[in-house]
Each structure stands twice: as structure tokens, then as C-alpha cells.
Amino acid sequence: MLIFWEQRLVFLANPKTGSSAIEMALESLASAALQRPAMLKHTDVATFRRHVGPWLQAQTGEAFTTVALMREPVDWLRSWYRFKLRDDHDDPHHAMQGVSFARFAELYAADDGPSRLGIGSQAGFLTDGDAHADCIFRYEQIQDFVDFLENRLDCAIELPRINVPPSVDVALSDEAEEDLRELMAEDMMLYDSI
């Protein structure tokens, strides 16, 4: 999470949407950068609205605008899979060596799958009841997000390319992908609305 005090703007770091690159590019411009532990870095909308947002508003007398990125839901899950194949993590949720993406998708689709895999959902991160982050941009159209930030922060922004996951087979059958899209209906509806 990055807080831009003067601009009354907060970037919420939705996992697997380029948040590390964004934080690397913008940390020096931010008034506060919460990057560790991951729980603080990835503060979701509900937590922000209950805890951080009211405190910021009490300090400034103004509400802060929340901004975040959202990735196409199936592609987001593919990114999580590739991330979990990396061998530089101690997290027990990373034991995915030898697991195909099709199997990973099945594990995610289980009743306790998202929590067991330590993933959650983008809708869960970006929404709080009927409300959501103030400005959500599609990861696939990241230039719109960069243009927005350049306007709000009054500076040119160039995002570095970091945390590039390994290239692996992430194909699904048409039927399996359709089933996954149905399972991720809440994410799909939010994504389609932006």
C-alpha cells in the first residue's frame, strides 16, 4: 500500500497485478509505503475502510481516493500458479512442484480452495459489501492506470519489470476454463464492470 498524503490518494496493492513494480517505481513519491509484512502491503478495501481510511480522514479532514488494479480473473489465477512454482519461497502454500495448472485450478475450485492455497479472490480484496475501491483499472490496460497516476502525481512514471514468473503451460480445456469462470463469477462481474 502506498499513501500519497498531499494528493489524498492511496494505492491498494492487489496481489498478482504488478504491485511490486508499481511500489518500486512510486515509493520515493509516496508519503508512506507499507511493504512488509505482506498483510500490510496487501491491505484490502474492507480493512482500509475500517482502519486506515478513517484515520487518514481524521488527520486531514478529507477522504482519500483508493486506486487499484484488477487482472482478468483466470489470468490472475494463472499468475498465482506460476508464482507458486518459484522455488524461492518458504511459504507452505507454495508446494506446487509437479502440480499441473489444471490440477491447481481444481484445488482452487474446492470449497476451501482459495483459503487453503492462500489466495482469496480479487473481488474479496477490492470490495467491501456493495462498495469497492474508488478507481479500479484493468491490469491488461495498465497504461490507463499510469496515465491516471501521472495526472494525479504530476510526474512521468515508468514501471520496471520485476518478479517475472517462469513460463509454464497454463492451458485449460474449454470446459474447465468455463467452469472456472463460473466459479469466479463475482470476480468476473467486477472485472466486466470496469
- For the chain, the average pLDDT equals 91
Q: How far is CA 151 from CA 52, 70, 144, in A?
A: 24, 20, 11
pLDDT, one tens digit per residue, over 166-181 is 688 899 999 999 999 9
With bands split at pLDDT 50, 70 and 90, how would you rate the model's confidence at 85? Answer: confident
Q: How far is CA 114 from the centre of its chain?
A: 15
Whole-angstrom distance, CA of residue 150 vs CA of residue 185: 32
pLDDT digits (tens, 9 = 90+) for 18-55: 988 999 999 999 999 988 877 788 999 999 999 999 99
Q: Residue ranges per domain, the chain?
A: 2-193
Strand order in the sheet with 65-70: 32-33, 2-4, 9-11, 65-70, 135-138
- Crossing angle for the helix pair 174-183 and 101-109, to the nearest 10 degrees: 30
CATH topology of domain 2-193: Rossmann fold (3.40.50)
pTM: 0.91
- Do the Cβ atoms of 44 and 12 come closer than 8 Å? yes
pLDDT (average), residues 146-155: 95
- Cα–Cα distance for residue pair 71/77, rounded to 1 Å: 9
Q: What's residue 188's pLDDT?
A: 97
Cα–Cα distance for residue pair 120/129, rounded to 1 Å: 16
